[in-house]
C-alpha cells in the first residue's frame, strides 16, 4: 500500500451511518394528531433500535421548513423545523438522546438551491433593485417567439423534469431565474459573497447546536459557468438539453469548498459527505476527498447506481440495460483501489432515497431469493473499505413495490410524476411506449425507497397508528417483511436484520482489515462469483469474501495463492461452505467470509 494518510485512524472513517427519510421512518403521533407523516419524535423513539443494529451516526434527509415540492429538498427556512416533523426543541432532544447513546446526528445541507418560498427568494423576486436580487441567478430572455412567449437564456433542461427549461419566468420583473431541479427549487448565486456568508452562518448554527456534520446535497453544482452557454444537442427531438457539463465542478467549486472548510468545518470535528453527481475523473474527485484537500471527508459517487443506464441516451435515468458482474466489479473494485492509491476516502452505499431498492436492482427480489440477495449485499457492503452508509429498510431487505401500483395514484415523487406525465402526453394509452415507461418506473423510480418503514405486521406496518392514511402507501409485503419478525426470527439461517447486525459487528471488530485494509480482486474474470481479499493495514491478516451472484449453486475453485483457513461466516448459516481447501461450494446468492493463512 502506498504511504499515505489512508490508514490514519479517524472516527468518521469507522462509523456506520444510517440514513433516515423522515417522512417514512416512524410517526410518534397518537390517533388524534396523526397526519400520516413520520416525525423527529418518531426517530427519538427508535434510537435504541438503531443502537442495537450497530449504527453510530444518523443522517436525516431534510426536516427544515419546506413546502415539500421535492420532499424537503426545497428549503424555505434553514433554521426552522417543518411543523410536520416537529420543532427545534425536538431536534435538540434527538441530538441529546443520540449523544447519550454514543451516537451522532448528521443533517442534510441543501444549499445549491432554496425553495421559491424562502424569504430570500421572495425578496429577490420583488424587484430588480431588491438587495436580495443577486442572491439568485436572474437573466433577461434571449428574445420572444412569434407568440410573444419569452425565450429562456439557454437550452438547459431541468434535472427532475427534462421537458422543461431550467429557467423559470417571473412575470413581474420580466426575467428568468435559474431552477436546475424543479421550478420550485431556485439556484443560489454563489458568486455573491453574501450568499456564501449566509451558508456559512447556517452551518455554524447547526454545528454549534451539536450536529456532527452534513451530507451536502448536489454540492458540486454550486459553481456555474458564468457565460451560461447552450448545451450540446444530444437529443434533437427535445427542446431542452442536459447542461450538466456547465455546472458540475464549475470554475469556482474548489474555491467555495475551501471557503466552507476554512470558515466553518475546520472549527469543528465533523463528518462530511458530498453528493457529487456527474463527476467521474479521479484527478478531479481527489481535489475534494484527498486527505489533504481541506474540502470534504468523502463524496457519494454514482457509477454503480447508473450501471443499468443506457449512457448514449440524453436522459439516461429512464433507460434500462442488462449488465454483467464484471462491470459491477470494475466499478466497485475500481473505487476501492483508486481511493487507496490516491489517498482519498470512499463513501460506501447501495441505497438512498433517490434510488430503487438494492435487492430489486442488483440481486433477485423474488420471495425465493430476496433474503439471500439482501444478505449478499450486506456482506459486500460491510466488507468494503470506506465509511458505510445504510439506508432505512435496507437492513430488512425491503424491496420495490409491485408493478400493479398505479403511477397516477401511488407514485408521489416529483421526478416520477413528471416522467409519467410526459410519457402520457407523448404516447397513447395501451402503447408499447407507455408499457415500457411503467417498467422503468417499476425498476428505477425513487418512490421505491420512500414507502413507510415496515416495523411490524400491524396495520400500516406499525409506521403510524391504524386508521390513518400514510403520506405514501405501505408496500404490500409488510406482513412478511418487517423489523419485528426479523429481530425475533429463530431458525437455521439468520434473518436479514440479524445478518446485518452480525456483519456490522464483524466489521467493527476488524477495522484494520475492513475499514483500513488493502483490497485485491480475486478471479476477476469470473462472471458468477465476485471475490476479493482484504488485508489488514497493520496486522496483515488476510480475509476472503466470495459471493455467488447467480440463482444457481456454484462450486468455486479457490485460486492457488489463497489458502482458506477458517470460514468465519456465511450468509446462509446452514451451508457446508468448504468442500476442501481448494473449492468452495456456494449456494444460489450465497456469500462467505473466510480467514486466510
Active site residues: 217, 275
Q: Check residue 244 for interaction with ligand NOJ (CB under 6 A).
A: no
Collect all residues with Cβ–Cβ distance below 8 Å to 46 and sequence separation of at least 6: 25, 26
Q: Which is nearer to ligand NOJ, 110 or 231 (CB)?
A: 110
Footprint of ligand NOJ on residues 176-195 (CB under 6 A)? 181
Q: Are 361 and 323 in contact (CB under 8 A)?
A: no
Q: Check residue 417 for interaction with ligand NOJ (CB under 6 A).
A: no
Query: How far apart, in whole angstroms, are the C-alpha atoms of residue 373 and residue 591?
Result: 9
- Tell me, what DSSP letter sits at residue 84? T
Q: How many CA atoms lie within 13 A of 311 on its CB side?
A: 8
Q: Which is nearer to ligand NOJ, 214 or 342 (CB)?
A: 214
Q: Check residue 364 for interaction with ligand NOJ (CB under 6 A).
A: no
CB of 62 to ligand NOJ, least distance (A): 9
CB of 257 to ligand NOJ, least distance (A): 17
Footprint of ligand NOJ on residues 135-164 (CB under 6 A)? 160
Q: Check residue 531 for interaction with ligand NOJ (CB under 6 A).
A: no
Q: Check residue 118 for interaction with ligand NOJ (CB under 6 A).
A: no
Q: Check residue 351 for interaction with ligand NOJ (CB under 6 A).
A: no
Q: Which of 39, 162, 217, 520 binds ligand NOJ (CB under 6 A)?
A: 217
* 52, 217, 168, 427 alpha-carbon torsion, rounded to 10°: -60
Q: Which of 26, 28, 59, 70 binds ligand NOJ (CB under 6 A)?
A: 70
CB of 392 to ligand NOJ, least distance (A): 14
- How big is the site for ligand NOJ, counted in residues (CB under 6 A)? 10
CB of 43 to ligand NOJ, least distance (A): 19
Footprint of ligand NOJ on residues 441-460 (CB under 6 A)? none
Query: How far apart, in whole angstroms, are the C-alpha atoms of residue 577 and residue 180?
Result: 51
Q: Which is nearer to ligand NOJ, 203 or 558 (CB)?
A: 203
Total residues found in the chain within this entry: 597
Q: What's phi and psi for 584, nearest 5 deg?
A: -120, 130
Q: Which of 82, 162, 275, 447 binds ligand NOJ (CB under 6 A)?
A: 275
Q: Closest CB to ligand NOJ belongs to which residue? A: 73
Q: Which is nearer to ligand NOJ, 275 or 343 (CB)?
A: 275
The dihedral built from the CA positions of residue 189, 195, 199 and 200, taken in this order, carries a sign that is positive
Q: Check residue 586 for interaction with ligand NOJ (CB under 6 A).
A: no
CA-nearest of 144, 203, 224 to 176 is 144
Q: Check residue 499 for interaction with ligand NOJ (CB under 6 A).
A: no
Q: Check residue 218 for interaction with ligand NOJ (CB under 6 A).
A: yes
Query: How far apart, in whole angstroms, are the C-alpha atoms of residue 113 and residue 217?
Result: 9
Question: What value, to the nearest 5°, has the Cα angle with vertex 63 and ends 157 and 195?
Answer: 60
Secondary structure (H, E, C), 100-157: HCCCEEEEEECCCEEECCCHHHHHHHHCCCCCCHHHECEECCCEECCCCCEECCCCEE
> Which residues in this chain contact ligand NOJ in the complex, by CB under 6 A?
70, 73, 110, 160, 181, 217-218, 275, 353-354
Amino acid at each position: 500500500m502506498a504511504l499515505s494518510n489512508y490508514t490514519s485512524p479517524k472516527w468518521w472513517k469507522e462509523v456506520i451511518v444510517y440514513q433516515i427519510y423522515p417522512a417514512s421512518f416512524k410517526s410518534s403521533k397518537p390517533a388524534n394528531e396523526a397526519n400520516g407523516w413520520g416525525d423527529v419524535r418518531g426517530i427519538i423513539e427508535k434510537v435504541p433500535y438503531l443502537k442495537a443494529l450497530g449504527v453510530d451516526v444518523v443522517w436525516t434527509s431534510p426536516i427544515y421548513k419546506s413546502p415539500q415540492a421535492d420532499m424537503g429538498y426545497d428549503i424555505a427556512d434553514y433554521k426552522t423545523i417543518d411543523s410536520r416533523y416537529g420543532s427545534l426543541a425536538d431536534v435538540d432532544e434527538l441530538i441529546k438522546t443520540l449523544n447519550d447513546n454514543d451516537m451522532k446526528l448528521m443533517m442534510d445541507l441543501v444549499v445549491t438551491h432554496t425553495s421559491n418560498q424562502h424569504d430570500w427568494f421572495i425578496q429577490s423576486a420583488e424587484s430588480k433593485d431588491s438587495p436580495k436580487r443577486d442572491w439568485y441567478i436572474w437573466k433577461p430572455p434571449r428574445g420572444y417567439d412569434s407568440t410573444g412567449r419569452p425565450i429562456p437564456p439557454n437550452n438547459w433542461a431541468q434535472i427532475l423534469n427534462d421537458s422543461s427549461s431550467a429557467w423559470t419566468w417571473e412575470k413581474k420583473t420580466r426575467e428568468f431565474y435559474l431552477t436546475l431541479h424543479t421550478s420550485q427549487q431556485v439556484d443560489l448565486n454563489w458568486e455573491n459573497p453574501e450568499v456564501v456568508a449566509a451558508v456559512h452562518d447556517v452551518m455554524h448554527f447547526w454545528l454549534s447546536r451539536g450536529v456532527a456534520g452534513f451530507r451536502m446535497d448536489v454540492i458540486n453544482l454550486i459553481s456555474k459557468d458564468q457565460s451560461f452557454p447552450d448545451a450540446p444537442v444530444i437529443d434533437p427531438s427535445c427542446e431542452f438539453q442536459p447542461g450538466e457539463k456547465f455546472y458540475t465542478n464549475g470554475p469556482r467549486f474548489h474555491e467555495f469548498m475551501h471557503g466552507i472548510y476554512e470558515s466553518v468545518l475546520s472549527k469543528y470535528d465533523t463528518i462530511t459527505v458530498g453528493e457529487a453527481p456527474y463527476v467521474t475523473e479521479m484527478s478531479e474527485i481527489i481535489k475534494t476527498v484527498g486527505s489533504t484537500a481541506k474540502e470534504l471527508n468523502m463524496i457519494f459517487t454514482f457509477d454503480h447506481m447508473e450501471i443499468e443506464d443506457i449512457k448514449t441516451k440524453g436522459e439516461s435515468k429512464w433507460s434500462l440495460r442488462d449488465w454483467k458482474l464484471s462491470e459491477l466489479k470494475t466499478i466497485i473494485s475500481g473505487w476501492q483501489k483508486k481511493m487507496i492509491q490516491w489517498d482519498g476516502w470512499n463513501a460506501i452505499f447501495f441505497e438512498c432515497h433517490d434510488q430503487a431498492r438494492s435487492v430489486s436492482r442488483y440481486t433477485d427480489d423474488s420471495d425465493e431469493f430476496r433474503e439471500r440477495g439482501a444478505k449478499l449485499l450486506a456482506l459486500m457492503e460491510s466488507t468494503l473499505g470506506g465509511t458505510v452508509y445504510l439506508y432505512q429498510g435496507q437492513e430488512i431487505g425491503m424491496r420495490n413495490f409491485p408493478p400493479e401500483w398505479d403511477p397516477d395514484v401511488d407514485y408521489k415523487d416529483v421526478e416520477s410524476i413528471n416522467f409519467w406525465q410526459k410519457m402520457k402526453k407523448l404516447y397513447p394509452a395501451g402503447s408499447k411506449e407507455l408499457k415500457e415507461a411503467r417498467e422503468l418506473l417499476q425498476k428505477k423510480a425513487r418512490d421505491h425507497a420512500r414507502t413507510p418503514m415496515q416495523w411490524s405486521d400491524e396495520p400500516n406496518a406499525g409506521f403510524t397508528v391504524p386508521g390513518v392514511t400514510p403520506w405514501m402507501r405501505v408496500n404490500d409485503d409488510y406482513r412478511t417483511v418487517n423489523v419485528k419478525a426479523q429481530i425475533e426470527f429463530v431458525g437455521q439461517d439468520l434473518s436479514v436484520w440479524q445478518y446485518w447486525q452480525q456483519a456490522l459487528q464483524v466489521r467493527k471488530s476488524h477495522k484494520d482489515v475492513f475499514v483500513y485494509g488493502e483490497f485485491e480482486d480475486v478471479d476477476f474474470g469470473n462472471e458468477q462469483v465476485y471475490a476479493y481479499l482484504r488485508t489488514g493495514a497493520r496486522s496483515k491478516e488476510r480475509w476472503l469474501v466470495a459471493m455467488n451472484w447467480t440463482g444457481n449453486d456454484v462450486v468455486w475453485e479457490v485460486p492457488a495463492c489463497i489458502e482458506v483457513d477458517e470460514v468465519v461466516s456465511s450468509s446462509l448459516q446452514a451451508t457446508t461452505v468448504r468442500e476442501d481447501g481448494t473449492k468452495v461450494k456456494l449456494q444460489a446468492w450465497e456469500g462467505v467470509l473466510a480467514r486466510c493463512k
